[in-house]
A = this chain, B = another copy of it.
Amino acid sequence: MTRTGRPRSAETDLAILEATRAALVELGWGKLTMGDVAARAGVAKTTLYRRWANKNELVLDAVAALFDELQLPDRGSLLADVEGVVMEFAELLERPETKTALMAVIAESTHDEALRVRIREAIVDRQKRLVVLGRQRAQARGELPPDVPPDGGPDSPLAEQAAARNADLIFDVIAGAVVHRILVSGERVDFAWARMFSALLVGGLPAAMAVAAR
């Protein structure tokens, strides 16, 4: 099943994705056109359509590449890990190309099932892994209780289910808060905010208010 004929240029792929990000920065999602991207990449418009079916998928791939950078170094404590991942995620979201593209693609995905699946694989699942990892570390450190259901051992299916629900919740809270702060409220995520948020996540509202009052 080895492909014959002229192979696709990998450089062209990269040039197109790079051009797409540049166009996002300058024009935003709404005014970005396929012809413009092609011109920036020094490529024929037809070449774009041979690789991506439409604007949505092209932009998704262009932005998804940036999410590869996300990491979760062990910072020693749950609080520090949360602060770290918040700052990292915020840096990614504060770039103009991600800002405008991410929301637009998600909006389109409400009417495009294939796009929804691609978003999940390329972005959501990748982030969620970090949450699961950080949560495991905290449990190993004894900062969070293990997943124990009322009946049955720690490895019962009920425990796994509760753990999954809980990881999903944490993920939505962290990613959601950062996204909302940056994109909807339009405010920066600085270290002071990250500290306050992390205190809220770990210790609840009273803890957050104590940090806010300094």
A166 & B110 in contact (Cβ 8 Å cutoff): no
B171 & A185 in contact (Cβ 8 Å cutoff): yes
8 A Cβ contacts from A82-98 to B: 96
8 A Cβ contacts from A159-207 to B: 159, 162-163, 165-166, 168-173, 175-181, 183-187, 193, 196-197, 200-207
Decide yes or no whether A150 CB sits under 8 A from chain B: yes
Cα distance, A15 to B124, chains bound together (Å): 38
Task: Give the dominant DSSP class at A's interface.
Answer: helix
Question: A158 to chain B: closest CB distance in Å?
Answer: 8
Decide yes or no whether A100 CB sits under 8 A from chain B: yes
Chain A: number of interface residues, binned into ranges = 35 or more
Residues of B within 8 A of A172 (CB): 177, 180-181, 184-185
Residues of B within 8 A of A165 (CB): 196, 212
Decide yes or no whether A65 CB sits under 8 A from chain B: no
Point out residues on A near B: beta carbons under 8 Å. Answer: 27-31, 56, 78, 96, 99-104, 106-108, 110-112, 116, 119-120, 124, 138, 144-145, 147-150, 159, 162-163, 165-166, 168-173, 175-181, 183-187, 193, 196-197, 200-210, 212-214
- Across the A-B interface, give the 9 residue pairs with the lowest CB-CB distance, nearest first: A176-B180, A28-B111, A176-B176, A204-B204, A103-B107, A104-B107, A166-B212, A176-B177, A203-B204
